[in-house]
Amino acid sequence: MSIFEVTKFDFMTREEILAAIDEKYKSLGQDPDVHLSGLLHAEPMKYWDFIQVDALLGLQTQRTNLPDEMIFLIYHQINELLFKMILWEMDQISFEEDITPDKFEMHLMRVSRYFNMLSTSFDIMGEGMEVEQYMKFRDTLTPASGFQSSQYRKIEIASTELINLIDYRFRKTINRDTPYEHAFDNMYWQAAGVDRKNGGKNQLIINFEKKYKKELIEWMKEYNTVNLWTKFKELPKEYQENLKLVNAMRHYDHTVNVDWVMHHYDAAAKYLDSGKVNVEATGGSDWHKYMHPRYQRRIFFPELWSADELENWGLDNIEGYRVLDKV
């Protein structure tokens, strides 16, 4: 069979297509013939128009004359596009009523594969810039930071219950009745926004909250009952015991909160621990402790891990984790 051949179930006949078009537009109170006439005069689709290539390639504006800044800029734009793809897939789970284990697992594994791309890209990034150039242009970009990616914060919020994103030092002060703003002010990432000289908020977090705080609080409200962890726990018991789905949940948790984080950590170490000086993160935080999973202990689905796995999170599971053979 040719790769261009399809089965009889994969297409509609010409008559069926015309009948479907007729039904579609009549149901909208529209004249199908007018739309068919419009199609007759429409320009054929072109790759560069569909992808918006010219607009996409015009989004890169350097702040310095250092060549490797362009690599750094495009790299982070690609990250944001991948974050958008991840959020798109997550919504196929969050807002699907009566979702099946197969559909849940399918979209979750897509998300994990996107994060695998992000992890691999840190390896590329590690060899993609000269340390000397990076240390120069990062001063120009201060206090901007990847920390300020609102899409990544949305991914975290859409992944789990808020209590699992609260700084572990303050979790006992948080419950289901806690105002969203108070929860936001105690999220784990706030630790990177502390000015270590005066204890107040640094400019990195001030700028971030000015632009995104209201939006993220609304996001917290929207995903409070449809985040991945809540959706999983509301599944019928037999679905929660589906081995493929449980392993997909564990895989996603480890991929985001250990594997991707460690790739980021190792890439940062190449530049910030380059041997000249012990450099602070852009916002002034101790990035060694802020980033490493053994300190943050960020875990989306805690009940899917054993007591031993939880206790040794960020220690024994850096290189991998145990795939379950039964639930």
pLDDT in tens, 134-166: 989 999 998 888 889 999 999 999 999 999 999
pLDDT in tens, 168-224: 888 888 887 899 999 999 999 988 888 777 888 999 999 999 999 999 999 999 999
CA dist 284 and 192 (Å) reads 8
Q: Residue 116 has which token pair? A: 């695998």
CATH fold, domain 72-311, is: Methane Monooxygenase Hydroxylase; Chain G, domain 1 (1.20.58)
Residues of the chain under the 50 pLDDT cut: 1-9
pTM of the model: 0.89
Query: Do 272 and 287 form a contact (C-beta atoms < 8 A)?
Result: yes
Q: Which of 157, 146, 171, 173 is nearest to 218 (CA)?
A: 157
